[in-house]
Amino acid sequence: MADKKRTLKGWLWALLWRLLLVLALLLLALRFVPPPTTAFMLQSPYPVRQHWVTLDSLPRAVPLAVVASEDQRFPSHHGIDFTELGNALEQLDDGGGLRGASTLSQQTAKNLLLWPGRSLVRKGLEAGLALSLEGLWGKKRILEVYLNVAEFGKGIYGVEAASRHYFGKGARYLTADQAARLALLLPSPRSRDPNHLTPYLAQRLAWVERQMRQLGNHYLDGVLK
């Protein structure tokens, strides 16, 4: 019986290492080629619209708006924002719900390989994958992939498809105001419209634009070089 347990344990470890190797090779390949699809796209109940664009072809306002809205410490953290994570865990200990605190690196990992919803298990996987992306891809590639796979509406993935849908033009022609409006969609993309803002979203838009001005046009120079 003991021999069988040792054999089973060895087989499981060997399987785990093979799976990790396959995952590492997949992530390494996606550093150079656009992902053909994502876990979130495969789970979408709506027809998927997506058009890949390079980060270098986008106005600086597009990545700046997303960073200002979603993850202002993106240039400096290593995949996990421990300040925000600590705040989220403190809120959980106080009886509050498990809130976001996900960095753009974590959101990219989630969109690519995981599933919607909030749980400690998924957050743990998300964090581990985010660290892997930081090591294998670097900041610029993470931001490029995120901007191409994030959901901006019902079946609308990436800033190019979003720009065409909401503004009738390619993402390379987005103004700073339009970039900020798209950033508003990211927490709840299926229930918001950048052209029809509620009073709350109008206030949020003003906040995002103010953050963009405070961060400055050169805030992401170190990431985008």
pLDDT in tens, 175-220: 999 999 999 999 899 999 999 999 999 999 999 999 999 999 999 9
DSSP the chain: -HHHHHHHHHHHHHHHHHHHHHHHHHHHHTTTS--S--HHHHT-SS--EE----GGGS-THHHHHHHHHH-TTTTTSSS--HHHHHHHHHHHHTT--------HHHHHHHHHHS-SS--HHHHHHHHHHHHHHHHHT-HHHHHHHHHHHSEEETTEESHHHHHHHHHSS-GGG--HHHHHHHHTTTTSTTS--TTS--HHHHHHHHHHHHHHHHH-TTTTHHHH-
pLDDT confidence of 93, banded at 50, 70, 90? very low
| CATH class of segment(s) 31-224 | mainly alpha
| pTM for the structure as a whole | 0.89
